[in-house]
Amino acid sequence: MLDLTRLLPGAFCTQLLADFGAEVIKIEQPGLGDYWRWTEPKVKLQSAQFLALNRGKRSITLDLKAAEAHEAFLRLCETADVVIEGFRPGVMDRLGLGYDVLKGRNPRLVVCALTGFGQEGPLAQVAAHDLNYVGMTGLLQLANGKTASPMATGLPIGDIGGGALMATAGILAALFDVSRGGIGRFVDVSVADGLHAWTGFMTARWNVPDLKEDTAPPFDAPFNKPFYSVYATSDGRHMVTGAYERKFWVTLCEVLELPEWLDRQWVSGSEEEDLRAAIAAAFARKSFAEWTRIFSEREACVTPVLTAREAMESDHARARGTVITVNDPVEGKLHHVGNPIRFDRNAFNSLTPAPALGEDNDGLLAEIGYSVDEIAMMRVNKTI
């Protein structure tokens, strides 16, 4: 698999595939490489985030504007199964590496273009990042309702959920088709399209006659109800209540000592606000640790809001093998979140550290037929 992408969406996609056993070869710009390598915070020499999402990959530097590197890339394509790129639409064609050229060298090749807004449409050439996509697809408004200034989520939902995961699914579907005797495919993945798929669950309600968007809550029930919310504890931490089903609501009322609300779970208007205030007052009477202990013994779908570190170091995460250890000869011992998918046999996690820039230049070029002298000349010409 040849990875021409930079930054998060492509890296997350190809990391999943590398963990599944794909040989992922990063094609990087000589001298600079994937500029995510150099972003802060760094462990020692390279970005902590780059190291986390480039495990088990190989790296070759190629100046794709140079004829020598251009031909080297085409040779790599001859034995590759997948190419993924994240350039704006038209860039690969201008480089002389468009889909028609690539499939001419390898008809079974799957080429995935992972972009912000897709290959066509009025926004196809618009530059944007995760927060832009989240804002332009309605997700930010849905998540915040009618607040004066919608708040960002703090997580790259667009890059990962709208881009990386959709690209992974598209690539695997295309490879499955090829495995059944089909030819290669061009896979057009748009982060914005992926986010529209996320919001489709909520916007489906607009098919209801006479339902006006401006009068509807940001989320359909139960997602905006007091029993499905977040509450502060006495020490400033928070608990989540997801007591949607009747049996969980009954338990919640018992634990919080709110018997008067037992048969009024679905109230609205001023009563709804009264219920929310009553639950908030109840949670404010005890500490985070106390509520966590109490609800660990009662089944009510009430759980603590953990920090990311607490979650990664939890007993459950340890039992699931969520965190893996990679020994990097330069950066030291690194702890990363591993592949989230479990199978009945064979662990799918690459424990090889992320490659240095151009670490595999000589080996990969030799594999596709370049001599030592030819490789040396490419280095002199700065095409690698």
Let me know: does 153 contact 134? Beta carbons within 8 Å: yes
Q: Are 256 and 283 in contact (CB under 8 A)?
A: yes
Can 159 be counted among the known catalytic residues? Answer: yes
Does residue 241 sit in helix, strand or coil?
A: strand
Helices 191-203 and 165-179, axial angle in degrees (round to 10):
100
User: Strands 302-304 and 238-242, how do they pair?
Assistant: antiparallel
Assign residue 138 a region: left if phi > 0, alpha if psi is -120 to 50, beta otherwise?
left
Q: Which of 129, 177, 196, 362 is catalytic?
A: 129
The active-site residue, picked from 19, 34, 159, 193, is: 159
| CA separation for the pair 8, 239 (Å, rounded) | 31
Cα 330 to Cα 356: distance, rounded to the nearest angstrom: 10
Q: How many CB atoms lie within 10 A of CB 162?
A: 29
Amino acid 227 reads: F
196 flagged as catalytic = no
Residue 325 pairs in a beta bridge with: 335
Q: Which residues are catalytic?
A: 129, 159
